[in-house]
Structure formats: structure tokens, C-alpha cells
């Protein structure tokens, strides 16, 4: 899953894809590099951020979705029902909701009515304050219990279970230790029985471990994604698609013993 943030302020690529034409070109390049889907978002959820209005979010993402329509598989990264509704009407297939249906009460209905796929992500607190003092007794079991509860709520609201994936929400109300423990024990999230999405790309815990500023965190991101693959994750949300596809190809061949030759480019 390639990340296209149509924002001026995302933590690692703010402003890069703020122009709709530039965003559409980058999305097509991600697909050419091997992404299965691109995740288009118009609101940064970086630590400390405030939200944007509905109008502003629509102004950012609709022109990009119009350009990608019918051409590129799209996920919409939003917590707002109206943004999801417009995005799905423009061909998006998946709603990636970092609030796990706790934000906009209308969102579950939009997903259920349209038959879209849904990603439910764990977050402790809200973006503005989530990194101030994250606390858990046992981060992995608490995140797993939360995702199971939100999965049941989504199914109750009419979203078929087969259409739902879950995400432990790396960096969303978590210390470095919490993120590492979630990655180390990711099999306990996989045990929920739904495909697991993992989003470590360029995040600050990688900066703390390596001393690198974003966007220079590709190698650290690759390490986390290979380890997550080995523990059963199925979707990898990344800014740097090409190196990720290469790393996951080699890791998959190693884990399975199966491979096919890729033409040299």
C-alpha cells in the first residue's frame, strides 16, 4: 500500500503531493513499482496535529481521486463519512479509518452500504495528545482486545467480516518500546484472524533507533516490514514502494522457497 498524503503538513512527505497532478503521477509510479493499492489522505494524523474541515479535506483529495479513477486501485485514508462517500463514488475500494469507526457515526453505514473494504486501526487518545503519555499494562493484549471489539462493532453495523482488515496503529499513542513489542508479538494480532495492515513507514521510532530524520528512514522501515511479513502481516503501508517491494519479494522467496524471475530493469 503506497502512501499519497495530499497535505501540506504530513510528518515525512508534507507538501510533496499537495498538487493533484503531482499526487496522481506519484500514485501511478507507485503502482508501476509494485504497489497493489495507494492510500490517499487529506488530513495529517501526525502527533500534535489538529484536524482539517470537511471542505478542506474534500478540496485536497477529490481532484486526486478524479485523476486516478478507473486506473489505480485506491484506498481513502479518512475518518469522515462524507469524504469516504465521495471517494467510494469516485472508485475507491477501501476505507482506511484511523479511528476504527469511533469518529464519525455515519462512517460505518457508508462502508456497509457501498460494500467497501475497511481497515480498523488502533489509536490510544487522539493525534493532538496521543504521544504525551502513552500507557498500557500489556500493549499487545490491549491492542488485540480493542481490534476484536471494533471488528465486532463493524460487523454489527453491517460491514461483512471478510471485508475488514486490522492494524495495530504503530506510532499512534505508543512509545518506542510499545511499537517494538507490537512488532515482536505481531502474531498475537494476526491471531485475530483478519488480514493485518502494518504502518511503520518513516515513523519517529525508526528515527529514534537510527538517528535518521525522515525521509531518510527507508532501511529501518524495511527491517520492520520484513519482520512483520515473517510474523504474518499482509499489507504494508509505505512511502517508499520500490525498495519495499524488493525487500518483500526476497523475504517471501526465503520464507516459502518459491520464487519467479523478475525481468531486469
Active site residue 203: yes
Of the candidates 165, 217, 221, 218, the residue with the CA atom closest to the CA atom of residue 193: 165
**DSSP code per residue over 149-200:** HHHHHHHHTT--GGGEEEE--TTSS--HHHHHHHHHTTHHHHTTSSPBEE--
Out of 60, 85, 163, 237, the active site residue is 237
- Report, in Å, the least distance between residue 16 CB and ligand HH2: 11
Out of 203, 217, 242, 249, the active site residue is 203
- Report, in Å, the least distance between residue 202 CB and ligand HH2: 7
For residues 238 and 247, which CB has a smaller minimum distance to ligand HH2 in the complex? 238
For residues 96 and 131, which CB has a smaller minimum distance to ligand HH2 in the complex? 96
Burial class (CB in 10 A: 0-12, 13-18, 19+), 102: middle
Chain residues binding ligand HH2 by CB under 6 A are: 3, 5, 7, 10-12, 41, 44-46, 77, 96, 98, 119, 121, 167, 169-170, 197, 199, 237
- Report, in Å, the least distance between residue 167 CB and ligand HH2: 4
- Angle, in degrees to the nearest 10, between helices 81-89 and 107-114: 20
Q: Give the integer Cα–Cα distance in Å for 39 and 237.
A: 8
- Report, in Å, the least distance between residue 3 CB and ligand HH2: 5
The Cα-based distances of 120 to 98, 103, 117, 131, 137 in angstroms read: 7, 12, 10, 20, 22
For residues 117 and 256, which CB has a smaller minimum distance to ligand HH2 in the complex? 117
DSSP state of 100: T
For residues 117 and 245, which CB has a smaller minimum distance to ligand HH2 in the complex? 117
For residues 72 and 165, which CB has a smaller minimum distance to ligand HH2 in the complex? 165
Percent helix, strand, coil in the chain (nearest 5)? 45, 10, 45
Please, are residues 74 and 87 in contact by the beta-carbon 8 Å criterion? yes
- Report, in Å, the least distance between residue 10 CB and ligand HH2: 3
For residues 68 and 96, which CB has a smaller minimum distance to ligand HH2 in the complex? 96
Q: What is the SS3 string spanning 216-244? A: CCHHHHHHHHHHHHHCCCCEECECCHHHH
The Cα-based distances of 110 to 76, 94, 101, 202 in angstroms read: 13, 11, 11, 31
SS3 109: helix
Q: For ligand HH2, which residue has the nearest CB?
A: 199
- Report, in Å, the least distance between residue 53 CB and ligand HH2: 16
Which positions are catalytic? Answer: 203, 237
Amino acid at each position: 500500500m503506497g502512501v499519497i498524503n495530499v497535505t501540506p503538513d504530513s510528518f515525512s512527505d508534507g507538501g510533496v503531493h499537495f498538487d493533484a497532478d503531482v499526487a496522481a503521477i506519484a500514485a501511478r509510479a507507485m503502482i508501476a513499482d509494485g504497489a497493489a493499492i495507494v492510500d490517499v489522505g487529506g488530513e495529517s494524523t501526525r502527533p500534535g496535529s489538529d484536524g482539517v474541515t470537511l471542505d478542506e479535506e474534500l478540496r485536497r483529495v477529490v481532484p486526486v481521486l478524479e485523476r486516478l479513477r478507473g486506473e489505480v486501485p485506491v484506498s481513502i485514508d479518512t475518518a469522515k463519512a462524507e469524504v469516504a462517500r465521495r471517494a467510494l463514488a469516485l472508485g475507491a475500494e477501501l476505507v482506511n479509518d484511523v479511528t476504527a469507526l469511533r469518529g464519525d457515526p455515519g462512517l460505518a453505514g457508508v462502508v456497509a452500504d457501498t460494500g467497501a473494504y475497511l481497515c480498523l486501526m488502533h489509536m490510544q487518545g487522539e493525534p493532538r495528545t496521543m504521544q504525551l503519555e502513552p500507557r498500557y499494562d500489556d500493549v499487545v493484549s490491549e491492542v488485540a482486545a480493542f481490534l476484536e471489539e471494533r471488528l465486532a462493532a463493524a460487523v454489527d453495523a453491517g460491514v461483512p467480516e471478510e471485508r475488514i482488515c486490522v492494524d495495530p496503529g504503530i506510532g499512534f499513542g505508543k512509545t518506542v518500546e510499545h511499537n517494538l513489542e507490537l512488532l515482536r508479538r505481531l502474531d498475537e494480532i494476526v491471531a485475530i484472524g483478519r488480514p493485518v495492515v502494518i504502518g511503520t513507514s518513516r515513523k519517529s521510532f525508526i528515527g529514534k533507533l537510527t538517528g535518521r530524520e525522515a525521509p531518510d528512514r527507508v532501511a529501518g522501515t524495511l527491517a520492520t516490514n520484513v519482520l512483520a511479513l515473517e510474523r504474518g502481516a499482509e499489507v504494508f503501508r509505505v512511502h517508499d514502494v520500490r525498495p519495499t517491494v524488493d525487500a518483500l519479494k526476497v523475504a517471501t522467496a526465503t520464507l516459502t522457497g518459491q520464487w519467479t524471475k523478475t525481468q531486469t530493469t
